[in-house]
Amino acid sequence: MHDVVKTRVNDFAIKLANVNGTGSASANGLLMQAIFRMGIPVCGKNLFPSNIQGLPTWYEIRVNKRGYAARALEYDMMVAMNGQTYDRDIKELRSGGYLLYDSSWPLDPDLLRDDINYFGIPLADMCTKHFGEPRERILMKNIAYAGALCAALDIDMEIVNALLDEKYSKKKAMRDSNSKALLLGYQYAKDHYSCPMPFRLEKMDANSSKILIDGNTATALGCVYAGATVAAWYPITPATSVMDAFKSFCEEYRKDPETGKNNYLILQAEDELAAIGMVIGASWNGARSFTSTAGPGVSLMNELLGLAYYAEIPVVVIDVQRVGPSTGMPTRTQQGDILECAYASHGDTKHILLFPANPNECFHMAIQSFDLAEQFQTPVMMLSDLDIGMNDWVVPRLEWDNSYRPNRGRVLDSEGLAKIAKFQRYNNEDENFVPARTLPGVDSKGAYFVRGSGHNKNGVYTEIPAEYQEVMDRLLKKHSAAAKFVPAPLIEKREGAKFGIISIGGCDPAVREAQDVLDAQGVPADYMRIRGFPFPESVEEFLAAHPVTFIVEQNRDAQLKSLLTLETGIAKDKMKSLLFYSGFPLSSGHLVEEILKEIA
Amino acid sequence: MPSITKPIAAHPTALRNALGLTIRDYEGSMSTLCAGCGHDSITAAIIRAVWEQSIPPHLVAKLSGIGCSSKTPTYFVGGAHGFNSAHGRMPAIAAGAIAANRDLTYIGVSGDGDSLSIGLGQLCHAIRRNLHMIYVLENNGVYGLTKGQFSASADMGSKSKRGEVNRMAPIDPVRLALTLGATFVARSFSGDKEQLVPILRAAIAHRGFALIDVVSPCVTFNDHPGSTKSYLHTRRFSQHMIEADYVPKAEEIVANITSAGTTAVKMHDGSTVLFRSVPKDYDPTDRAKVSAYLDQNQNEGQILTGLLYIESDSVDLHQANDTSETPLRDLPYEKLCPGADALNALQDEYR
């Protein structure tokens, strides 16, 4: 046995290597949630395959008292439950780390290393002995290793028991099995090892105003609070849970207390071509409507996004990005849809994009997406990703101001129509180049024909060059005007910074941590996180103010950098790309190493 | 699409409907289709049917895809909002629109290219959802705007204007719709307004998806010898299989119901569809019998027309989803937002 040199409290990472479909998610989630309830900053990343059963899956838990929430690259503890990946997993354990393995069998040669500690628990033996059903024997092995980890890491058993009580309040048999398995693992570890181990947990109070939530759930909640009534979608990983959550929130909050009827309608479309069409139809008709999808779905929606852009119909698209191109790696994360979404469709089109970085922003930006879509009468796409959408994040509690009212944009009712001589759809724009629209079913005076074909400012079909161009020019000005209304970039300056870092979305925790690490090494950097497109003026100012800015993003082709080059006046040699597109969430380690190399 | 505005000026003695409106109040812009196009006759039938049903123009919503047929919503009910969408995508746009506001009368116009090729999937799913709308499929067997390619409804052996022979089996929207569970299926001919107008009125009264396949000859690209969608061919082979009248709620049923197999179908709005004459053993409310009859008789090259099938008590999209009777788009925000307290309470579960 090797000893870890010194005790580390609330600062370590563990990785759990499992077989997909064996019930490990529930044990891993339990550990994560228990640590959260101990008041300790924690982050969990589920690295799972596109598979229902049998392929390797991993879960990583990083505990960090300073609140760094990016992925770790080195692990203090490896829970090796999957023979298929022993050889890979063992390499990721740092020297002096602990390997938890099932000691029911002799140690696999693949797991042999002379610089680590072995933490064997006879999981299969104890579960075979104590449980009868074959499926239960498999499931409870996971809870048993969770019990062993509770002993090793000093996880508060009272909290774990409370969590099991909540989870299985209506399933006593499950509750009992879980308790039994948990205790088996816990007791064995206590009896055979020196627990807690040198890296362990101590209660803190960092989470009293925090929640543990995934981005897709928060997004769905945002759609409920925005007042969306019509949702259309086609099932796709990793966006499916947006609509699952929207449905369950609607069942809870949208059953009319007086009539018992549903104050929402969710349409599961035949494909994404239809899903976006449904959103357009509902929005045209005055309902707040949205779709949730991923990159392949956005590809299919391109045609009608152009129609919505040109005919000026509000549309909200939630794009939970995954790895492309084509089917790519559907259960892995990427920021690969930036350019696709910015200019989606044929002809000259430009869209409003919002980039949340965590579930809290998913909630607020979902609401803002609806406000912007209706204010500007155009598609708005919120680009989340698999990491944000499907992993549980510790974020500040969601605040709600009851005085919020949706910005429905310029809509003329009968009263408004009575005040004008003649309604012309694309005439009389406001200071943001947005004309007033009318809704079907209200007043014949407001009747007009929506068309994707060439039209003049009166909404009438045209093939006259000047008339066509007049509308297209206004649309460009309208898009630019939205720069003042999208969420402003967040800037974190550092004294003596010699260069800048620009990033987006889920890269945020890694960049913030890297900024601190660099600062500590005497390499201060300013950081700007872009949150919306069209880019507000401050983006160009930030780029201009730094001799060089690193553009950090998760795709191969530097899509954010391309967009910055196309849409700002900054020369592209002032920007250096740092690109990560393996499919796994970013770690600060990646960044620090690359930046130090670049500036050396 | 190009259009020419028509002056609205009704003759003082013109007939008025229950709303006091003349048929001119239900017209739209001047058609820019070819002279003699079957689609213009269908437009005229739609105008008459909506007028006769006394639907306020602003409570109509018109939707279409792309193609000659899809241009026509500009030509009727000018007081209604219209949506000329994208090729084959009208059913989805209609689904969303209907989801948002269940109270309007939705009239979708499409063609055989729009509905049976690029939009076949969307048509099928609109039928499955039983969207409460009228879906007029103006069927000419040819792509007009791109100058004469066969469409998916072109009959086997039918000749194009350039002399090519179609070797692929046609997609028959009527039999397709019956298979998919359509709740109102009709076929008519653009040149037969006497038959088409009552079918359209019954379709308006139907709560659910009303598919009306209307053979509508293309005078420019598909009206030659050898075409099976020409005026001549359609006149020769079309056969009124079923004679049906639409009887509004207020009117007394005076027709003489004596012939065998005659059926009166009560619509949910209180009106009646009266089947005056149907073939022996044919029951327009029995899907299996209708399908069997069409299978046996249509293959003879006959074009069987009439209101072929009706399921008047069908469950539409909103009924199936138990949606609010108040249109969703009219629900006040206060009813939709759970508020700060609910959000606080909910978040205790995320700890």
pLDDT at B254 over 70: no
Taking alpha carbons only, the member of A18, A1, A59 closest to residue A35 is A59
B202 found inside a domain: yes
Q: How far apart are the first and last CA of chain A?
A: 40
Give residue-wise pLDDT tens across range A217-273: 999 999 999 999 999 999 999 999 999 999 999 999 999 999 999 999 999 999 999
**A554-563: b (≥16 Cβ within 10 Å) or e:** bbeebbbbbb
Q: Model confidence at B3, in pLDDT bands (50, 70, 90)?
A: low
* Token pair 């759930």 in the structure block, residue: A217
- Touching check for A400 and chain B: CB below 8 Å? yes
pLDDT at B11 over 80: no
The distance of B67 to chain A (nearest Cα, Å) reads 12
B332 found inside a domain: no
How do beta strands B272-277 and B263-266 pair?
antiparallel
- Touching check for B287 and chain A: CB below 8 Å? no
pLDDT at A540 over 90: yes
- CA separation for the pair B351, A34 (Å, rounded): 9
Q: B191: which 2 tokens?
A: 């040149």
Predicted confidence at residue B258, as pLDDT, reads 45
How do beta strands A210-214 and A549-553 pair?
unpaired
B338 found inside a domain: no
Largest CA distance in chain B: 76
In chain B, residues with a C-beta closer than 8 Å to the C-beta of A443 are 58
Peptide bond connecting A238 to the previous residue in cis, omega within 30 degrees of 0: yes
- CA separation for the pair A539, A542 (Å, rounded): 5
Q: Return the half-sphere exposure (C-beta side, CA atoms, 13 A cut-off) of residue A105.
A: 9
Q: A143: which 2 tokens?
A: 């809870």
Residues 6+ apart with CB under 8 A from B89: A273, A274, A277, A303, A304, B65, B119, B122
- CA separation for the pair A50, B289 (Å, rounded): 47
* Token pair 């075409």 in the structure block, residue: B227
In chain A, residues with a C-beta closer than 8 Å to the C-beta of B100 are 229-230, 281-283, 285-287, 289
The distance of B79 to chain A (nearest Cα, Å) reads 5
- Whether B339 sits inside 8 A of A402 (CB atoms) is yes
The distance of A298 to chain B (nearest Cα, Å) reads 16
Class of domain A490-599: alpha beta
Give residue-wise pLDDT tens across range B290-339: 999 998 887 777 889 999 999 989 999 999 999 999 999 999 999 999 99
* Token pair 């209708």 in the structure block, residue: B290
Predicted confidence at residue B13, as pLDDT, reads 81
The distance of A447 to chain B (nearest Cα, Å) reads 5
User: What is the domain partition of chain A in residue ranges?
Assistant: 8-200, 213-396, 414-484, 490-599
pLDDT at A88 over 70: yes
- Whether A289 sits inside 8 A of B331 (CB atoms) is no
- Whether A449 sits inside 8 A of B73 (CB atoms) is yes
pLDDT at B189 over 50: yes
Mean pLDDT taken over chain A: 96
Structural domain tally of chain B? 1
Q: What is the DSSP letter of A2?
A: P
Q: Where are the alpha helices (DSSP H) in B130-241?
A: 173-179, 193-205, 231-237
- Touching check for B333 and chain A: CB below 8 Å? yes
Nearest Cβ partner for A281 among B84, B95, B328: B95
- Touching check for B345 and chain A: CB below 8 Å? no
Predicted confidence at residue B244, as pLDDT, reads 87
pLDDT at B285 over 50: yes
Predicted confidence at residue B279, as pLDDT, reads 85
Predicted confidence at residue B257, as pLDDT, reads 44
Give residue-wise pLDDT tens across range A373-414: 999 999 999 999 999 999 999 999 999 999 999 999 999 999
B274 found inside a domain: yes
Q: How far apart are the first and last CA of chain B?
A: 57
- Touching check for B151 and chain A: CB below 8 Å? no
A421, burial (CB in 10 Å: exposed 0-12, middle 13-18, buried 19+): exposed
B95 found inside a domain: yes
Q: Model confidence at A494, in pLDDT bands (50, 70, 90)?
A: very high
**Bigger pLDDT: B258 vs A314:** A314
Give residue-wise pLDDT tens across range B40-75: 999 999 999 999 999 999 999 999 999 999 999 999
Interface of A with B in 421-480 (CB under 8 A): 438-444, 446-453, 460-461, 463
Peptide bond connecting A296 to the previous residue in cis, omega within 30 degrees of 0: no
Q: Is A95 left (phi over 0), alpha (psi -120 to 50) or beta?
A: beta
What DSSP letter does each residue of B28-86 carry, written as one string? -SBP-SPTT-HHHHHHHHHHHHHHHTT--GGGEEEEE-SSHHHHGGGGB-TTSEEEE--
Give residue-wise pLDDT tens across range A160-186: 999 999 999 999 999 999 999 999 999
The model carries a pTM of: 0.96
Q: Model confidence at A533, in pLDDT bands (50, 70, 90)?
A: very high
In chain B, residues with a C-beta closer than 8 Å to the C-beta of A262 are 321-324
Q: What is the DSSP letter of A391?
A: S
Phi, psi of A158 (to 5 degrees): -60, -40
Residues 6+ apart with CB under 8 A from A153: A14, A77, A196, A197, A199, A200, A201
B293 found inside a domain: yes
Give residue-wise pLDDT tens across range A185-201: 999 999 999 999 999 99
B33 found inside a domain: yes
Q: Given 3.10.580.10, 3.40.50.720, 3.40.50.970, 3.40.50.280, which CATH number is that of A213-396?
A: 3.40.50.970
On the question of a common fold for A213-396 and A490-599, the answer reads yes
CATH placement of domain A8-200: 3.40.920.10
The distance of A571 to chain B (nearest Cα, Å) reads 39
Q: Return the half-sphere exposure (C-beta side, CA atoms, 13 A cut-off) of residue A128.
A: 6
- CA separation for the pair A507, A510 (Å, rounded): 6
- Touching check for A304 and chain B: CB below 8 Å? yes
CATH of the domain at B107: 3.40.50.970
Domain that holds residue B266: 23-323
User: To the nearest whole percent, how much of chain A has pLDDT over 90?
Assistant: 97
- Helices and strands, number each (H, E), in chain B: 12, 13
Predicted confidence at residue B261, as pLDDT, reads 53
- How many other β-carbons are positioned within 10 Å of the β-carbon of residue A104? 15
Question: What single-letter amino acid sits at B248?
Answer: P
Q: Where are the alpha helices (DSSP H) in B192-278?
A: 193-205, 231-237
The least confident of A322-336, A490-504, B298-312 is B298-312
B3 found inside a domain: no
Nearest Cβ partner for A441 among B59, B322, B339: B59
- CA separation for the pair A192, A56 (Å, rounded): 29
- Touching check for B268 and chain A: CB below 8 Å? no
Residue of B nearest to A454 (CA): B1
Nearest Cβ partner for A232 among B78, B96, B335: B96
* Token pair 């895809």 in the structure block, residue: B65
Secondary structure of residue A385 in the 3-state scheme: strand
Are B216 and B69 contacting, i.e. CB atoms less than 8 angstroms apart?
A: yes
In the A/B pair of chains, how many CB contacts fall below 8 A? Answer: 222
- For the segment A544-561, the average pLDDT, to the nearest whole number, is 98
Q: Return the half-sphere exposure (C-beta side, CA atoms, 13 A cut-off) of residue A150.
A: 28
Q: Is A38 left (phi over 0), alpha (psi -120 to 50) or beta?
A: alpha
Are B99 and B327 contacting, i.e. CB atoms less than 8 angstroms apart?
A: no
Predicted confidence at residue A12, as pLDDT, reads 96
